A and B are shown apart, each in its own frame.
Chain A
Amino acid sequence: EPEVTQTPSHQVTQMGQEVILRCVPISNHLYFYWYRQILGQKVEFLVSFYNNEISEKSEIFDDQFSVERPDGSNFTLKIRSTKLEDSAMYFCASSSTGGDTEAFFGQGTRLTVV
């Protein structure tokens, strides 16, 4: 069964460093998302991406964040200068259409900023 793959599973970085979280969505999917979950809190939407551009972003997704689909398979989330409060589980998701179809989630990348 096809699935969304995220790498790495755990990333530790120093405050102020740049990190890139990688995702390989399901191959025929067109809509891509990043969510995050700070420990003990709810899953929060960051950004959605369709047709090579951001279609929606939340207040969390400020200038420190960017997304890219550098080739036909990867979908990356970059945090330019990490802060302690960026420590969270980051989930990538994809769906075949943007409507009521199911969003498939990756297993997540745990980012720890020290």
Chain B
Amino acid sequence: AQRVTQPEKLLSVFKGAPVELKCNYSYSGSPELFWYVQYSRQRLQLLLRHISRESIKGFTADLNKGETSFHLKKPFAQEEDSAMYYCALKLSSGNTPLVFGKGTRLSVIA
């Protein structure tokens, strides 16, 4: 079965410090990986997906198939980055559901 692991429930960093939110997955095929973010009192929204290979709000994530990881990184954290971050996996293409990790709460301290 597919599984997404986010080992940290809470990550606190100082403003301006680098951030890395870890995500590992288990799936034998070729998954599609996503990061969703939920700001306080807002809905879940897509932050980025591995196939687009883009940087959103300064965040990047590289799919490492050898390590089955999709860590989310930002070189300089901002206070407005404080939120819940969910790593999610989808089975290749087609109408398949997202499998979520438990989420990591990022707290950026001024």
Interface residues of A (CB under 8 A from B): 3-4, 31, 33, 35, 41-45, 48, 50, 55-56, 58, 91, 98-100, 102-108
Partner of B44, one of A45, A58, A91, A100: A91
Counted as pairs of residues, one from A and one from B, with CB atoms less than 8 Å apart, the total is 58
B97 cross-chain contacts in A, Cβ below 8 A: 33, 35, 45, 48, 56, 58
Q: Are B51 and A43 in contact, CB atoms less than 8 angstroms apart?
A: no
B90-110 at interface with A (beta carbon < 8 Å): 90, 93-103
Residue B32 is within 8 A (CB to CB) of chain A in the complex? yes
Do A45 and B43 contact each other (CB < 8 Å), given the known contacts A100-B49, A100-B51, A100-B90? no
Q: Please, how many angstroms separate the alpha-carbon atoms of A102 and B47 in the complex?
A: 10
Q: Please, how many angstroms separate the alpha-carbon atoms of A105 and B42 in the complex?
A: 10
Q: Are B44 and A105 in contact, CB atoms less than 8 angstroms apart?
A: yes
Considering the complex, give the chain B residue whose CB is closest to the CB of A100: B32
A100 cross-chain contacts in B, Cβ below 8 A: 32, 49, 51, 90, 93
Residue B45 is within 8 A (CB to CB) of chain A in the complex? yes
Interface residues of B (CB under 8 A from A): 32, 36, 42-46, 49, 51, 86, 90, 93-103
Considering the complex, give the chain A residue whose CB is closest to the CB of B46: A102
Do A45 and B49 contact each other (CB < 8 Å), given the known contacts A99-B93, A100-B93? no
Q: Please, how many angstroms separate the alpha-carbon atoms of A18 and B49 in the complex?
A: 38
Considering the complex, give the chain B residue whose CB is closest to the CB of A56: B97
A35 cross-chain contacts in B, Cβ below 8 A: 97-98, 100
Instruction: Beyond A48-B95, A99-B93, A100-B49, list 9 extra A-B contacts (CB 8 Å).
Output: A35-B98, A41-B102, A43-B44, A43-B103, A48-B97, A56-B95, A100-B51, A102-B46, A107-B43
